[in-house]
């Protein structure tokens, strides 16, 4: 294709992008290496070498996505390119399995939902060397990694002196404004490596409408509501650390991190509840204020036992999280000729303390085999309380004891694990076994639970040729999903006049058996078939209140069985030097049996993403990305299909040290389909 033709394609596509955001990144183009402080991976420095190859490779237990510098992408954008990974606003999954753990340089990021997504957005491609996606976590990972694991390996500078990175991204729309500044600074001198990082997300405007309808068992009832929300928020993180390499065999690393999020969300709701010929209309004005703080301290010591890869490693971390909510609600109701005015407020507090220590010994037996043994201890403590007060006619506040709650919960998990790996001429095998002892204690209810479980894991692969262009991979693992503290809390948490949440202290853990077979061609094209078999799967159910059928509540219960059978395809392709294509598709058959005496019923689900990058003259590039997910089912509720299309135009200057990006984003058919007593 001639330059004029490529320019014509560029002009046609760029005409549809619009100008919605601007970003600029400044870096120093110097050699970098993988951070080996929190991982024993070897360090390689390549200079004056140009290699044209696919950025995605498949190994026996993982996908590896290499990240070249100056891509001007954040962590979320990189994960959207990773095979089998799907991200929503609140969760991450691999091959359709939720519960995925995220690690940065072997340190688990103990955030969930929007907080985790916000953290990933703060990571920049200039500081990331590669992303590794493990569809099944090995025995050296916690048994609750039922959704696999994602490892983000950061770069480590090797040139003496300072190196830095600054960026600013912004988004503008009629309902959304967002600013994302970030910066990093690295210093290398002799035996010391020091780094610092800071980023923030400021959302001064974020407006949206939420529509809800509810189907009741009784045919003469109906419910509908409209909520208009404003959700401005602030998010920031600061991370700093240092690595001291004592000698060729010993290194010590320390890292500190602080994360803060705050928001004030005013909203208005308009609801209509119909009971026969009677309509009850409500108007609510809500003001929700929340602040969240997380402090993390991590230390690790690595002692290399020999030059073959044997290593002794100790990793410890301590996390303190606190959350404070201050909410006020004012509700006006019209029930026929009767008018009712209700004002109440709530104060909630939650504090988490999490401490872990992981000691492991890896012994390289010879070049093709090694074993690893280790032990880990994790302590989690949570104190959670809320107080509701109603405004009396005399303007005084009276506590509503029925709505208030307290929870004091402690969890101790001790683990022993061992793995063995052997590489052979025609294949390899990796086996592992993990044992976990769990003790939970509910101080509020004086309830204790203790149990011991075994979790085996095996990876095996067969090479069809000497260069491993064709390979067949088989994997099996057993995992657990423990009930969250909030899901066990038996106290009632009011969410509106017509709905509330309540925990279930009788919840049992979910056990998952996962297996898959993967065919790999040309190191990166893959076809995977497998199954995730769940026993006692925890799901949320919407139900009618026994005392007042006009009110609904949400509670967690155990499904007897739920099996997910899936097919996954990944296809990264570079047909031309200036064109990169990457696509993945996951199809799932979801078979559900809620109770032992029930029959199975099922649904088909799909997840898909595709990415195309066109390299244009004058250091321009155009990237188009599609992400889609079908309607999802959980309990007796569902989430509508979601389709997003992103278009990015990038321009580089000064050998990639400065980058400008113009993104365009379209979201189609997204929303919450139904809740409560939906007819699926």
Contact by Cβ (8 Å): 374, 360: yes
Which residues does residue 427 pair with via DSSP β-bridges, in sequence order? 424, 462
Q: pLDDT tens digits, residue range 565-588?
A: 999 998 888 788 888 888 888 999
- Residue linked to tokens 């001007």: 72
Q: Reply yes or no on whether the pLDDT at 40 is more than 60.
A: no
* H/E segment holding residue 284: strand 278-304
Least confident stretch, 236-240, 276-280, 321-325 = 276-280
Separation CA 481–CA 460 (nearest Å) = 25
For residues 99-117, average pLDDT: 82
Question: Is 90 exceeded by the pLDDT of residue 162?
Answer: no
Predicted confidence (pLDDT) at residue 27 exceeds the cutoff of 60: no
Question: In 503-600, at which residue ranges do the beta strands (DSSP E only) sit?
Answer: 510-521, 525-544, 552-576, 579-593
What does the alpha-carbon distance between residue 207 and residue 175 come to, in Å, rounded to a whole number? 5
Residue 495 vs residue 313, higher pLDDT: 313
Determine the average pLDDT of the residues in 499-510: 84
- pLDDT of 381 reads 92
Q: What is the DSSP string of 448-484?
A: EEEEEEEEEEEEEEEESSTT-SEEEEEEEEEEEEPPP
Q: What is the rounded average pLDDT of the residues 272-289?
A: 82
Give me the pLDDT at residue 650, please: 78
- C-alpha angle with apex 124: 123 to 128, nearest 5 degrees? 90
Q: H helices of 301-376, where?
A: none
Mean pLDDT over the full length of the chain: 80
Report which of residues 433 and 501 the model is more confident about. Answer: 433
Cβ atoms 636, 174 nearer than 8 A: no
Residue 38: helix, strand or coil by DSSP? coil
Phi then psi dihedrals of residue 504, to 5 deg: -130, 100
What is the pLDDT averaged over residues 271-290? 83
Lowest mean pLDDT among 35-39, 346-350, 558-562: 35-39
Q: How far apart are CA 441 and CA 408, in angstroms?
A: 8
Give the residue-averaged pLDDT of 658-678: 48
| pLDDT at residue number 588 | 92
**pTM over 0.85, yes/no:** no
204, 180 Cβ separation under 8 angstroms: no
pLDDT of residue 24: 32
288: confidence class by pLDDT, cuts 50, 70, 90: confident
The mean pLDDT of 502-511, rounded to a whole number, is 88
SS3 label, residue 487: helix
Q: What is the 3-state secondary structure (H, E, C) of 432-453?
A: EEEEEEEEEEECCCCEEEEEEE
What gap in Å lies between CA 483 and CA 611, rounded to an integer? 36
Please name the helix (run of DSSP H) or strand (run of DSSP E) that holds residue 12, with its range, or none.
helix 3-14
């Amino acid at each position: 294709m001639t330059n004029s033709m490529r320019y014509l394609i560029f002009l046609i596509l760029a005409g549809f992008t619009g100008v919605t955001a601007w970003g600029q990144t400044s870096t120093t183009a110097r050699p970098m290496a993988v951070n080996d402080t929190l991982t024993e991976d070897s360090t390689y420095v390549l200079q004056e070498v140009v290699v044209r190859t696919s950025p995605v490779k498949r190994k026996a237990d993982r996908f590896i996505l290499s990240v070249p510098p100056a891509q001007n992408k954040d962590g979320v954008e990189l994960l959207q390119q990773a095979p089998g990974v799907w991200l929503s606003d609140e969760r991450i999954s691999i091959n359709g399995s939720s519960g995925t753990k995220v690690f940065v340089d072997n340190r688990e990021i103990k955030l969930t939902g929007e907080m985790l997504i916000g953290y990933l957005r703060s990571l920049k491609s200039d500081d990331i060397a590669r992303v590794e996606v493990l569809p099944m976590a090995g025995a050296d990972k916690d048994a609750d990694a039922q959704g696999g694991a994602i490892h983000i390996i950061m770069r480590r500078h090797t040139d003496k002196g300072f190196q830095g990175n600054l960026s600013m991204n912004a988004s503008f729309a009629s309902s959304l404004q967002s600013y994302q500044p970030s910066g990093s600074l690295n210093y290398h001198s002799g035996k010391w490596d020091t780094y610092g990082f800071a980023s923030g997300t400021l959302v001064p405007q974020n407006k949206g409408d939420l529509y809800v309808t509810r189907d009741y068992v009784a045919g003469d009832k109906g419910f509908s509501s409209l909520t208009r929300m404003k959700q401005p928020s602030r998010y920031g993180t600061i991370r700093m650390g240092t690595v001291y390499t004592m000698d060729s065999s010993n290194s010590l690393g320390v890292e500190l991190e602080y994360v803060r999020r705050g928001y004030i969300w005013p909203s208005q709701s308009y609801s209509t509840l119909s009971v026969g010929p009677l309509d009850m209309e409500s108007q609510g004005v809500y003001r929700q204020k929340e602040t969240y703080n997380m402090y993390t301290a991590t230390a690790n010591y690595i002692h290399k036992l020999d030059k073959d890869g044997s290593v002794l490693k100790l990793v410890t971390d301590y996390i303190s999280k606190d959350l404070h909510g201050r909410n006020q609600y004012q509700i006006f109701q019209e029930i026929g000729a009767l008018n009712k005015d209700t004002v109440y407020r709530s104060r909630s507090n939650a504090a988490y303390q999490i401490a872990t220590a992981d000691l492991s010994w890896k012994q390289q037996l010879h070049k093709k085999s090694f074993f690893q043994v280790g032990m880990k201890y994790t302590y989690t403590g949570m104190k959670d309380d809320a107080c509701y007060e109603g405004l009396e006619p005399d303007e005084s506040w009276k506590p509503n004891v029925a709505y208030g709650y307290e929870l004091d919960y402690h969890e101790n998990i001790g683990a022993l694990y061992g793995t063995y790996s052997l590489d052979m001429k025609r294949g390899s095998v990796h086996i592992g076994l993990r044992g976990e002892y769990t003790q939970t204690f509910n101080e509020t209810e004086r309830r204790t639970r203790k149990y011991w479980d075994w979790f085996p894991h095996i990876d095996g692969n067969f090479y069809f040729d000497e260069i491993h262009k064709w390979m067949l991979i088989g994997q099996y693992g057993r995992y657990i999903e423990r009930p969250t503290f909030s899901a066990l809390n038996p106290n009632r948490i009011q969410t509106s006049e017509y709905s509330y949440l309540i925990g279930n202290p009788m919840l049992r853990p979910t056990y998952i058996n996962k297996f898959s077979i993967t065919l790999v061609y040309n190191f990166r094209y893959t076809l995977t078939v497998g199954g995730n078999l769940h026993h006692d799967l925890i799901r949320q159910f919407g139900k009618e209140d026994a005392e007042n059928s006009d009110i609904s509540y949400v509670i967690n219960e155990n499904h007897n069985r739920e099996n997910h059978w899936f097919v996954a395809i990944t296809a990264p392709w570079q047909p031309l030097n200036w064109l990169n294509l990457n696509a993945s598709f996951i199809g799932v058959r979801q078979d559900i049996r809620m109770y032992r005496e029930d029959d199975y019923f099922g649904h088909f689900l799909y997840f898909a993403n595709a990415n195309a990058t066109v390299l244009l003259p004058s250091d321009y590039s155009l990237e188009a990305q599609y992400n889609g997910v079908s309607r999802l089912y959980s309990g007796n509720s569902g989430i509508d299909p979601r389709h997003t299309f992103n278009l990015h135009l990038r321009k580089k200057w000064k050998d990639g040290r400065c980058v400008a990006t113009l993104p365009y984003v379209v979201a189609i058919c997204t929303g919450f389909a139904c809740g409560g007593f939906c007819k699926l």
